[in-house]
Amino acid sequence: MEEKPDWRSESYAKAFEAHDRADFAQEFLRRNPDYRAQYARAIDAAPIARKRLAKHWGLVFRGRP
């Protein structure tokens, strides 16, 4: 069986240095089955459904220039 890396090691920590909180949040949502299901329902729905999705998950999007 393959040994898993020790998350406390310096080399393991260095692999994540380039990532910020937004990167980890996006990865969490991408893997979350509840978010994915809600997103699938909201994406083709009225804009209010997308606003509810964003509010429920605490998402904030910058406005377009």
pLDDT tens profile 13-49: 888 888 999 899 999 999 999 999 999 999 888 889 9
In a domain, 47, yes or no: yes
Q: Find the angle CA(46)-CA(51)-CA(55) to the nearest 5 degrees.
A: 150
**What are the tokens at 3?**
């040994």
Number of domains in the chain: 1
Residue 62, pLDDT above cutoff 80: no
In a domain, 6, yes or no: no
In a domain, 27, yes or no: yes
In a domain, 12, yes or no: no
Residue 60 contacts residue 54 (beta carbons within 8 Å)? yes
Residue 1, pLDDT above cutoff 80: no
In a domain, 28, yes or no: yes
In a domain, 65, yes or no: no
Q: Which domain holds residue 43?
A: 20-57
